[in-house]
Amino acid sequence: MNLRRLFSIVMKELRQLRRDRLTFAMIIGIPTMQLLLFGYAINMDVRHLPAAVLDQAHTAQSREVVAVLAQAQVMDFAYTLESPQQIDTLLRAGTISAALVIPPDFERRLYETDRPPLQIVVDGSDQIVQQAARQLSALPVQALLNPGAAAAPATNVEVVNFYNPERRAPVNTVPGLIGVILTMTMVLFTAMALVRERERGNLEFLIATPVSPAELTLGKVLPFVGIGLMQVTVVLVLGVLIFHVPIRGSLLDIYGASLAFIIASLSLGIFLSTLARTQFQAMQMAFFTFLPQILLSGFMFPFAGMPKLAQWLAEIFPMTHFMRLIRGILLRSATLAELWRELLALAVFCTIVLGIAILRTRKRLD
Amino acid sequence: MRTERSEADRHADAIVARGLVKRFGEVVAVDHVDLTVARAQVYGFLGPNGSGKSTTIRMLCGLLLPSEGQIDVLGCKIPQQAEALKRRIGYMTQKFSLYDDLTVTENLEFVAAVHEFDRARTRRRIGELLERYWLGKLKNQLAGTLSGGQKQRLALAAAVLHEPELLLLDEPTSAVDPQSRREFWDSLFALVDAGTTILVSTHYMDEAERCHRLAILDHGRLVADGTPQALEAALPGEVLLVDCANPRDAQRVLQPLPGVAALAQIGASLRVLTEDRGGQRERIAAALREAGIDAKVEAVRPNLEDVFVSATRMSAAAAPDRAAA
């Protein structure tokens, strides 16, 4: 390993990158576009479900409970019903997704713990609606309706605080998005950059010179470490400005975790470049590794809900571990030291994948 | 480094290869080739496409692993000592292999850095090369926008930047106009004057003619080896020029005649290559007379094309035997 040669390759890459407008645009464009896309469009946050109220009690408290639940904004009580049969009709027609039923003996039930005071009938065919209703039903109705009038406004605020962080999707999505963007760009760009040299015939000239494969690979990959950190910054800044994502942990830990993940993704890219013959093949392979990572890492679906086999598989992927790292640090103010297991997993991944890549690299054409 | 090498080494041949074989699966790309290239000479590889020229060159500089055979280049055993050799050779690929999206100067700076030149030496050497290869005006132009001849001059400058003892050129003039080709060869002879050994592959006869020594490759086999003059003198047959009113009629008559190796119409005359020597002129003239064609037949000096045609024909004739063995 000769440092001057390594540096010369880094310089060359940067010069080429500067002229490659498309790649350069993608480096900033991909994070921005994805952030807006995932942040706004793919929103699992359920609000304003069309709903109906069947108030059979007709008391001051029953009207108050409707008002409180309406404040949560999960359901819009657009319909006031007179009979239970109407619920069935409206649900079947798809006019409403849920209905709140207040039984005639509502006030007595409030003080008797053996029977629930409220009932929410939901269209169970949509799991997200079901989940929303279940969370709504967890509202501490008794506490809210406590006769102590002074306590009422305070508990109302409490409802909002308790639910809102859970119900705003971007808070969970944006940290995960850092992982998605890094996986996509780091793996793809490195694999393609390394294969490009071979495809364009530059490699044939280079291997007749004293350049070693390690110098060439490292020199081509190093600029991407900087680019990756730049992308992390773009997502963080936009996440905070647009989606008000909290940064609860330390910035140093965030960049430390990102760096570990960038190195893991670059290793994967280097490995793919030893398998691919053309840039197109490299691109296909990068997408092949990208999909399972995005689906199983916990970015899209909760990790706990996946079958065991999928969980084991997910443990292999660097993105799974990064997802835990970045969410832990950003949202729960965890430190890298506390999350050492995830760092270790990334280190093991890098060692194995890079090891195989080195074994596969030869400084020859055949 | 130059002073460290022994006297004997300096006078030894630049390249010695024995029994060189390269197989790609079932295909034998290079078939038992023996080569000896003396120092400070231009050694040419002449052969059609697919004759194994590129493969041989790639094996000589350690880019490909030979299936069989011994290679000694500048005293280095190949492939074992290929890394040490790489500092002492320059290699110019058939396809332009520098970076299209870097400028002329940036490309050369990169190559200089690869060879661990310091800043001052880089600047000095690039200045020399820009001047010698007429690249000064193009120095800030992207390599991808250069013409064929300009690209080739840049590639040569990059290949000789570190002043290699041996320069391997794989069909360097295939994408270049005749004027650029002449200039390019002038550059090569300037390098030879400075002591560089050059191995160049080509399929142009006029270029082959300019080499000090020549090897003709056909289907991976070395079918002839020597100076252009010696090869022409050693031609087994005779070369005759038939002048007549209608060369195509003469061609039809001579085509089936035994002992005729090849026929080629050159303008208004017909060039005849025979398989053997002695009395061929009379035999051809008689055959034409019999067919009622009034022609003037005279013996001419053979050229490299005759040597090439004769050598590749004989190798084709010998091929079935080899396959059987």
A200 near B CB under 8 A: yes
CB half-sphere exposure, B77, CA atoms < 13 A: 3
Whether A43 shows a pLDDT value over 60: the answer reads no
Nearest CA in chain A to B95: A201
For the stretch A197-208, pLDDT in tens is: 888 889 888 888
Chain A nearest CA to B265, separation (Å) = 40
Most confident of the ranges A23-27, A111-115, B167-171: B167-171
Phi and psi dihedrals of B299, rounded to 5? -80, 140
Beta bridge mates, B92: B169
Average pLDDT over residues A109-113: 70
Chain A neighbors of B86, CB-CB under 8 A: 208-210
Helix then strand count (H, E) for chain B reads 12, 14
Average confidence score pLDDT of chain B: 88
Predicted local distance difference test score (pLDDT) of residue A103: 83
What token pair was written down for A19?
């002229």
Work out how many CB contacts closer than 8 A connect A with B: 79
Predicted local distance difference test score (pLDDT) of residue A77: 87
CA angle B24, B28, B30 (to 5 degrees): 105
| Confidence band for B7, pLDDT divided at 50, 70 and 90 | very low
A365 touching B (Cβ < 8 Å): yes
Contact B64 A207 (CB under 8 A): no
How sure is the predictor about B6, in pLDDT bands with cuts at 50, 70 and 90? very low
CA distance B211 to B43: 6
B204 touches chain A (CB under 8 A): no
Q: Which residue of B has its CA nearest to A12?
A: B110
Decide if pLDDT at B156 tops 90. Answer: yes
Chain B contact for A210, CB < 8 A?
Answer: yes
Name the closest residue on chain B to residue A199, using Cα atoms: B97
SS3 B52: coil
Instruction: Give A-chain residues touching B111 at CB under 8 angstroms.
Output: 209
Q: What is the pLDDT of residue B9?
A: 52
pLDDT band at A154 (very low <50, low <70, confident <90, very high): very low
Band (pLDDT 50/70/90 cuts) for residue B146 is very high
Nearest to B219 by CA among B82, B31, B57, B15: B31
Amino acid at B268: A
Q: What is the mean pLDDT of residues B230-245?
A: 89
pLDDT at A50 over 90: no
Nearest Cβ partner of B91 from A15, A19, A205?
A: A205
Cα B187 versus chain centre, distance: 16
Measured distance CA(A345)–CA(A180) in Å, rounded: 18
For residues A364 and A206, give the distance between their C-alpha atoms in angstroms, rounded to a whole number: 10
Are A201 and B100 within 8 A, CB to CB?
no
Give the closest of B63, B99, B110 to A207, CB-based. B63
Residue A265 clears pLDDT 90, i.e. is over it: yes
Tell whether the model's pLDDT for residue A151 goes beyond 70. no
Distance from CA of A207 to the nearest CA of B (A): 7
The shortest CB-CB distance from B110 to any of A8, A208, A365 is to A8
Helix (H, G, I), strand (E, B) or coil at B156: helix
Which tens digit of pLDDT belongs to each residue from A225-254?
999 999 999 989 988 888 888 888 899 999
Tell me the pLDDT tens digit for each residue of A293-304. Answer: 988 988 877 777
pLDDT at A366: 64
Q: Does B80 touch chain A (CB under 8 A)?
A: no
Beta-carbon separation of B99 and A211 below 8 A: no
Interface test with A, best of B99, B142, B154, B161 (most A CBs within 10 A): B99
Given a cut of 70, is residue A321 above it in pLDDT? Answer: yes
Place of tokens 């002879």: B189
pLDDT of residue A58: 87
Domains of chain B, each with CATH number or no CATH:
2-232 (3.40.50.300), 236-301 (3.30.70.100)
Among A8, A14, A21, A203, which would you mutate to test the B interface (most chain B Cβ atoms within 10 Å of its Cβ)?
A8
CB contact under 8 A, A200 and B115: no
pLDDT at A364: 65
Cα–Cα distance, B57 to B47 (Å, whole number): 13
Show the tokens assigned to B268: 């208004």
Is A32 at the interface with chain B, CB within 8 A? Answer: no
Mark yes or no for CB contact B113/A7 under 8 Å: yes
Picking from B63, B111, B142, the nearest residue to A365 by CB comes out as: B63
Contact of B84 with chain A, judged by CB distance below 8 Å, is answered with: no
Is there a contact between B93 and A205 if contact means CB atoms under 8 Å apart?
A: yes
Count the neighbouring beta carbons within 10 Å of the beta carbon of residue A340: 10
Interface check for A208 against chain B (CB to CB < 8 A): the answer is: yes
Give the sign of the dihedral formed by CA A37, CA A38, CA A42, CA A47. negative
pLDDT at A176: 86
Residues A97-104, mean pLDDT to the nearest whole number: 83
Q: Of B42, B77, B19, whose CA–CA distance to B207 is shortest?
A: B42
**Per-residue pLDDT tens for B89-113?**
999 988 899 999 999 999 999 999 9
> What is the reported pLDDT for B2?
44
* Total residue length of chain B: 325
Looking at the predicted structure, is the pLDDT value of residue B159 above 80? yes
Chain A interface includes B65 (CB < 8 A): yes
- Tell me the shortest Cα–Cα distance from A213 to chain B, in angstroms: 12
Are B114 and A8 in contact (CB < 8 Å)? yes
A23 interfaces chain B, CB cutoff of 8 Å: no
Domains, chain A? 3-42+169-360 (no CATH), 49-167 (3.40.190)
Chain B 138-197, CB below 8 Å of chain A: which residues? 142, 158, 168
- Chain B residue closest to A14 (CA)? B102
Q: Which residue of A has its CA nearest to B105?
A: A12
Partner residue opposite B86 with nearest CB, options A9, A203, A210? A210
When mean pLDDT is compared across A177-181, B212-216, B240-244, B317-321, the lowest value belongs to B317-321
